[in-house]
Structure 1
Amino acid sequence: MRQANPAAIAGILAAVLWLGPARPAPAAVYQLDMNDAASPTWSGFAGVLRTTLYNPAPGYGWTSSPQYAQDQGGQGGLNDMLRDFHSDQDKRTFLADLSPGAYTVALYFRHDASAHDNIQVWAEGNLVLPDVDVPQATTVTQFFAISVSDGQLALDIDDPDPPGGALDADWILNGIVIVPEPAAAALLAAGFPALLRRRRKA
C-alpha cells in the first residue's frame, strides 16, 4: 500500500481544505459539522444546526429539519465533529451549492450509545450508499464520487426500517466533507483516507 507523505498532505490540505478557525467553507469545498444547539464546532468546519434550512447566503442547509440533534459529549476522546449528529426516522434532504463538476463526498457516522443499520444515501437522485451500518461506538466513513451539473448537490438520507420494528429505524449523520475531484484525487493519492482517520481521533 502506498504510504502517505505528510509534507504533501499538509500542502494539499492547506490549499484545498482550509484548516484555520471554523468558518463557512469556500463555495467549491464544504466541511460541515452537524451540531446540536449547544455543542462546539470542530475547527476548520462550519457548524450546521438541525434547524439550518437551505439559504443561498451560506449555500447549504436542510430542506426540512431533521427531528433530532444530539451532543454525545467529549467522552472517549471524540473530536467536535464526531461528538454530535443529526437524526430522523424519515428521509431528509441536504443541499449544497457547487459549481458544475465532479466531486468526492465523505460522510461521517458515529453514535456511542447505539448501533444503526440500513442507512441509505442518494446523491443527485442516485442511490450511492445502499446500506450503511454503524456499529455502536464505532466511526464509519463513507466516500463516493458524484457529478454535479445543475449548480447544486442534493443529498437524501433515510433508513427504510419501520419504526417499532426489530431493526433500528433512525439514520444519523455527524459530518460532511465535499472536495472537487482533481483535488480529491490528489488527496487520495497522498493518503487522505488515512489522514481523516487520524484527524477524527484528535
Structure 2
Amino acid sequence: MTSRPVTAEDLRYMDTALALAYARLGQTAPNPSVGCIIVRDGRIIGAAATAPGGRPHAEPQALEQAGARAEGATVYVTLEPCAHYGKTPPCAEALIAAHPAEVVIACRDPFEHVAGRGMTMLADAGIAVLEGVREADAIALNAGFFERLKTGRPLLASDPRTGLFDADLVLQAGEDTGAALDRLGAQGLTRVRQR
C-alpha cells in the first residue's frame, strides 16, 4: 500500500465520490452505496455511484465512462473494491484490467469476501493503493451496511430525510422491533427509518 501524503486534490475528489454515494443512499440495498471518480490530468473522466438495486457497482460504470483513458489515471472510491464473484465480477479485477496508476480508497470493506482482498489484488497487480482518505466520512456513509454485516440487522435511526433509508420501520402483526429488524436484515436492507 502507498504511504504518500494526502493532498488537497485527494480530499476534493474523495468528497465528490462521497457526494455521489450519499445521493444513492436508500436505493442500493442489499449493497452499500459507493461512489467512484476517475481523474486524469486534473480532470474527472468517469464518475458513478452504485446503481439502484445495487447493480451495477460504481467502479465498472465509471470505468466505462473513462474508457481507455483510465490507464494511468487515479481512481477514488468510497469503499474498498469488491474482490469476489457474486452476481457481478469483482470490481478489483475490472480496475486491474483498466491499469490505473493508483486507487485511493476511503475505507476498507469488512465483508468477509472482501476485507482487504480488494486492496491486495490491486497492489499485487502493481497499482498503488492509498487507504483512509476521508475514512470517517465513509464509515458514517456505510454505517447501515456495516451494521447489517455485524449484526444481521439494518441500522435503525430517526431522521426526517426519508431518502436516506431503504424503508420505514413498519411492524407486522404481533412483531416487536427486534423481530422486524431481523426480518428486514434478512431482506438485505441496511438503513431503516423509525418514524
| Structure 1 or 2: more strand by fraction | 1
Task: Give the TM-score normalised by structure 1.
Answer: 0.27
User: Higher Cα Rg: structure 1 or 2?
Assistant: 2
| Structure 1 or 2: more helix by fraction | 2
Looking at both structures, which has the greater relative contact order when contacts are Cα pairs under 8 Å and sequence separation is at least 6?
1
